[in-house]
Amino acid sequence: MSRWFAWLGGVRLVLVQWVVLLAAGLVSILPRRDDWIGSWKLALDGSAGATVFIGPVAAGLACLVYSRLRSSGVGEIIAQGRRDWWSWSQPAVGLWALASSALLCVAVGATTASSLAGVPAYPRLLWILIPALAVLGSQVAIGAAIGWASGRSWAAPLTAVMLFLLYLWTVVGPLPEFFDSGSATSSLAGFDVVPGPWLALGVAAVALTVVVLAAA
């Protein structure tokens, strides 16, 4: 694990990044606490939708890491080694793991709080977090690709803003709701989850991740 921490700046910096990602998730869900505290389904759905902030922050961090990797010349050394594709992708996988753990912590906290409020739980719906984690992977991949292509650290905040605007564009614009992984705006009482759209979102996110990383 020390190698993974080294890619992201050491153990302390990794912890700082995780706290920032967790804070982004809390910013996404806490303002709506009055809505989901009495609904376990809304708590879970809102946690899955925390990608709206966690994703752009993770993309910005990935852009920062890969821009430094490119500008330092280490990337050229990696390309000459064995299993260069795995060594090159380790920072992205590490950041995805940090972002995913932050989202899962948000989900555990929100659903636990909802359960403690006395509402019934529906653990059979926990699988909807899997497509959300796939969406995080695609956002990290985009950030990594931009950082590697630009080699400029200043592209990191622009990448975070761009990913957030892209989310808004897919929700209210002409594009499919690709990055919309949850956060319903109305009560889910009496509703069930239709697997098709969620699974399609997950498959599309995984495909985008592979294509972007391969192109980068």
pLDDT number for residue 97: 92
At residue 205, the pLDDT reads 73
pLDDT of residue 119: 80
> What pLDDT is attached to residue 158?
93
C-alpha–C-alpha distance, residues 39 and 177, integer Å = 24
For position 184, what pLDDT does the model report? 53
In this predicted structure, what is the pLDDT of residue 128?
84
Give the pLDDT confidence score for residue 95 in this predicted structure. Answer: 92
* Mean pLDDT for back-to-back runs of 10 residues, the chain (216 residues): 64 90 92 80 85 93 89 62 70 91 93 85 84 90 89 89 85 66 53 62 74 75
Q: In this predicted structure, what is the pLDDT of residue 109?
A: 92
The dihedral through the CA atoms of 129, 135, 138, 139 has a sign that is negative
pLDDT at 117: 83
pLDDT for 23 equals 95
* pLDDT for position 12: 85
